[in-house]
Chains A and B, each alone.
Chain A
C-alpha cells in the first residue's frame, strides 16, 4: 500500500482540484475590481471582513466536524489571548500568549 499514489498518477486530479479551488478565489476579485459598484454592495462588502473573521474565529475555537464543542483547553487559552489582544493590539503578543498558555496547559495535563 505504501507509496502507491505518485505525483504523476495524481497530477490530473491535482489540476482539476487546483482549477475548482482557483476559480472562486479569482473570479470575484477579477470581476469586482473592474466594475463600478452600487452603494449598497460597497457597504455590504465593507462589513464582510468582520463577518468572515468572526465566523473563522468561532469555527476554529468551537466547531469539530459538525459538532459544536468548546474544549476546556481551548476555552482556558482563549481568555488570556483575548485579554492580550484587547490590551496590546499586537498580533505577535496575542498569538504568543495563546500558544504559551496552551503549552502550559498541555504540560499540566489539562484538556484533551
Chain B
C-alpha cells in the first residue's frame, strides 16, 4: 500500500505543471477542434501519447492532410529528446524492475523530468508512489484541459490574461536557479543556453535542445 502522504506530496509538487499545462491544453483542444478532432479523439491522444509539442504538430499535420508515416516520423523526432532525460534519471532508478520503469517512462515529459531531477539534486529520495502521483497529476491536468478546450473551445476566457503561459518558463527558471550553486554547474548551464539559442535557427526541429544537452554535459565531464 503506498502511503497517502507520499501521494499527496506528489500531487502537491505537480501543481506548477498543472498551472502551466492549463493554457497549453486549452489551446491544443481548440486547435484540435478546428482540425476536426472529436472530444473522444482528443482524450485518446492525450492519454495514449501524452506529448505536448508532438500533439500540436500531429494535429497541424492532420489538418493539412498528412498521413500515417509522416506524422509518426515527425513525432519520433520531436520526442527523441526524452532519450537524454530517461538516461539522466537512470542512476536513481536502479531499484525498480521493468514494470515499474514502464509506468515512469510513459509519463516522462520535459516538465516531470525537471521536477524529478531537481528532487534528486536536492538530496531527496521520492518514493515510487510520489513519482507516479506527480506524473499522473501532470497527465490528468493535460488530458482534462485538452478535453475541456476541445469541448468548450472559444467559450472560455483566455488564460494568458492570467499570466499562466509563464508558469512553465518560471518553473524552469526556478529549478535551474537551484542548480547553479557551483562553478562547474554554472559553466554547463551557460554552454547549454548558448547552444540552445544559436542552434535554434541553425538546426532542424529541436536538435538544438539535444545538441545543447550533449555538449554541455560533455563540458561538465571534461572539466576538473
Instruction: Kindly state the separation between the CA atoms of A103 and B157 in the bound complex, as whole angstroms.
Output: 14
Q: Which of A3, A66, A82, A95 has most chain B Cβ within 10 Å? A: A95
Judged by DSSP, the binding face of B is helix
Q: Is the CB of A48 within 8 A of B84?
A: yes
A56/B170 contact (C-beta < 8 A), A27-B86, A106-B163 known: no
A56/B189 contact (C-beta < 8 A), A7-B38, A97-B170, A99-B163 known: no
Shortest distance from the beta carbon of A93 to any chain B beta carbon, whole Å: 8
A52/B213 contact (C-beta < 8 A), A25-B86, A27-B86, A40-B221 known: yes
B123 cross-chain contacts in A, Cβ below 8 A: none
A55/B177 contact (C-beta < 8 A), A22-B105, A22-B106, A44-B218 known: no
A86 cross-chain contacts in B, Cβ below 8 A: 177
Cross-chain contact of B200 among A68, A78, A84 (Cβ < 8 A): A68
A33/B94 contact (C-beta < 8 A), A99-B19, A106-B161, A106-B163 known: yes
Q: Which of B81, B161, B171, B184 has most chain A Cβ within 10 Å? A: B171
Q: Which of B91, B118, B191 has most chain A Cβ within 10 Å? A: B91
Q: Is the CB of B170 within 8 A of A99?
A: yes
B177 cross-chain contacts in A, Cβ below 8 A: 82, 85-86, 89, 94
Shortest distance from the beta carbon of A62 to any chain B beta carbon, whole Å: 6
Q: Which of A16, A29, A89 has most chain B Cβ within 10 Å? A: A29
A18 cross-chain contacts in B, Cβ below 8 A: 48-49
Q: Is B168 an interface residue (CB 8 A)?
A: yes
The A58-72 residues at the B interface (CB cut-off 8 A) are 58-63, 66-68
Binary contact track B166-202/A, C-beta < 8 Å → 1, others 0: 1111111111111100001100111111011100110
Cross-chain contact of A98 among B87, B105, B167, B193 (Cβ < 8 A): B167
Shortest distance from the beta carbon of A55 to any chain B beta carbon, whole Å: 4
Instruction: Kindly state the separation between the CA atoms of A59 and B114 in the bound complex, as whole angstroms.
Output: 14
Q: Which of A1, A27, A44, A54 has most chain B Cβ within 10 Å? A: A54
Q: Is the CB of B101 within 8 A of A30?
A: yes
Instruction: Kindly state the separation between the CA atoms of A7 and B169 in the bound complex, as whole angstroms.
Output: 32
Q: Is the CB of A26 within 8 A of B201?
A: no
B200 cross-chain contacts in A, Cβ below 8 A: 59, 63, 66-68
A2 cross-chain contacts in B, Cβ below 8 A: 33, 36
Q: Is the CB of B86 within 8 A of A48?
A: no
Q: Is the CB of A33 within 8 A of B96?
A: yes
Instruction: Kindly state the separation between the CA atoms of A15 and B201 in the bound complex, as whole angstroms.
Output: 32
Instruction: Kindly state the separation between the CA atoms of A66 and B110 in the bound complex, as whole angstroms.
Output: 19
B174 cross-chain contacts in A, Cβ below 8 A: 81, 84-85, 91, 94-95
Binary contact track A1-34/B, C-beta < 8 Å → 1, others 0: 1111111011111111110111011111110110
Known: A29-B86, A56-B172. 14 other contacts (CB 8 A): A5-B36, A7-B43, A22-B105, A28-B90, A29-B89, A45-B217, A53-B175, A53-B189, A57-B173, A77-B170, A81-B174, A94-B174, A95-B16, A95-B167
- The 6 A-B pairs with the shortest beta carbon distances in the complex, nearest first, are A98-B170, A47-B220, A102-B163, A94-B174, A103-B163, A51-B216
